[in-house]
Amino acid sequence: MFDIAIIGGGLAGLVNSILLSRAGLKVVLFEKNQYPFHRVCGEYISNEVIPFLENHDLFPLEFAPPNISELLISSVRGKSFSSTLDLGGFGISRFAFDHWLSLKAEAAGVQVYQNTTIKEVRKSTVFFELSTQNDEVFTSKLVIGAHGKRAKLDQSLNRSFLQKHSPYVGVKYHVKTNLPDDQIALHNFEGGYCGVSRVEDGKYNVCYLTHRDGIREHGSIEAFEENIMYRNPHLESLFRNSDKLFEKPLVINEISFDKREPINGSLFMCGDAAGMITPLCGNGMAMAIHSAKILSSFIIDQWKSGDLNLEALGNAYEKTWTKQFGTRLWAGLKIQDSLFGNNWASSTAVFTGKYLKPLTDALIRQTHGSPFS
């Protein structure tokens, strides 16, 4: 019997596992893929996480992640504006970062099962039973759902956000190109936006969010890029002057920003599984790390007191989670809906932004947290 079982080995699952195991709990983590692997993600991490990562020896210094301190936004037609980022961020691929953290987890004593999908979780009176795709069964006293934005498991947990289909598709490449090291660009195109920023080893991440129907209409991703995205000259220049490092783009469908809940029955949700912020905010990874810090601290405190009361723990976590992240999720969605991927709105935003840096600073403040340790 494990003390804690964690479903999903992204940032939320891995950080929880390391902190809980270092505190002396017996932890098992299940990841359906095998490290290292690529994910659809813009790979820009807000600097708000640096004090925490450094304090816990989790900052991936050996990859020399580039520091990103400037934001460039371009409109659908390519009119652009740039501004310094007060807090800024750094770039590292999930291929490198998640793998590195999984080794840290193993070193901390976490039992990491890769290529292992949890298909069902059942609760008996005193413990949980988790069954894998091979019908192996593991037991634990507490379960953390850190399985990301959408998983088959959510069906068996009857989660309400699955009831609606989502039109959003995410596409990602790594490329070699020639752009400033310290800049994150958000380029608009009709029906979407594309983030571009550097990660380790001189590579750049190109990641965009758009609607499935737009791509279908053009028959293929390549045709969509040429017919729609190239209308923004920044994107045309980027695609024409870059060497793609993947044979084909990485694509995910059904990205939903509908409300989820940090507690599902007696399961503790963390990271995207608890709530997903729109990608343009560049804050999802910081939220995954921060929510893992919050959840593991609550669990460790209760564990030390010798009285594991799941209901009290759930109430305390839900309250703190909502206070910390509720407004960010809401603001991110409003900004995405009103400013991005729309010709008039994105031109106006770029025009206004030229004169009103305080406006962009305020938007960033609405969707980011303060540094935490």
Applying CB under 6 A, which residues contact ligand FAD?
7-13, 30-33, 39-45, 117-118, 146-149, 151, 153, 170, 195, 207, 209, 255, 271-273, 279, 282-286, 288
Q: What is the largest CA-CA distance in the chain?
A: 62
Say how far apart CA 372 and CA 65 lie, in whole Å.
19
Spatial separation of the C-alpha atoms in residues 354 and 97, rounded to whole Å = 35
CB of 307 to ligand FAD, least distance (A): 29
- Of the pair 11, 313, the CB lying nearest ligand FAD is at 11
Q: Taking the complex as a whole, how short is the minimal distance between the CB of residue 306 and ligand FAD, in angstroms?
A: 30
By beta-carbon proximity to ligand FAD, the closer residue of 36 and 347 is: 36
Which residue, 330 or 347, has its beta carbon nearer to ligand FAD?
Answer: 330
The tokens for 92 are: 């590292």
Do the Cβ atoms of 215 and 223 come closer than 8 Å? no
Q: Do residues 218 and 227 make contact, with C-beta atoms less than 8 angstroms apart? A: yes
**Contact predicate 2/30, CB 8 Å:** no
**Which of 260, 295, 267, 205 minimizes the C-alpha distance to 11?**
295
The amino acid sitting at 51 is P
Q: State how far the Cα of 225 lies from the Cα of 121, in Å rounded to an integer.
A: 41
Q: Residue 143 and residue 5: Cα distance in Å, rounded?
A: 5
Residue among 160 and 352 whose Cβ is closer to ligand FAD: 160
Q: In one letter, which amino acid is 55?
A: N
**Structure tokens belonging to residue 346:** 């994105």
158 neighbors 35 (Cβ within 8 angstroms) = no
CB of 37 to ligand FAD, least distance (A): 8
The token pair that represents 244 in the structure block: 């793609």
CB of 113 to ligand FAD, least distance (A): 8
Residue among 149 and 234 whose Cβ is closer to ligand FAD:
149
Going by C-alpha positions, the residue among 229, 231, 223 that lies closest to residue 209 is 229
Nearer to ligand FAD by C-beta: 8 or 66?
8
Burial 287-314 (b: 16+ CB within 10 A, else e): bbbbbbbbbbebbbebbeeeeeebeebb
Tokens 């019908």 correspond to 135
Q: For residue 293, give the amino acid letter.
A: K
Query: Which residue is it, tokens 């019997």?
Result: 1
CB nearer ligand FAD, residue 273 or residue 313: 273
Nearest distance from C-beta of residue 355 to ligand FAD, angstroms? 27
Shortest gap between Cβ of 299 and ligand FAD (angstroms)? 17
Least distance from C-beta 75 to ligand FAD, angstroms?
A: 20
- Work out how close the CB of 117 gets to ligand FAD at its nearest, in angstroms, rounded to a whole number: 4
Nearer to ligand FAD, 98 or 190 (CB): 98
Between strands 137-145 and 192-198, the pairing is: unpaired
Residue 7 C-beta: closest distance to ligand FAD, Å: 5
Q: Which is nearer to ligand FAD, 11 or 267 (CB)?
A: 11
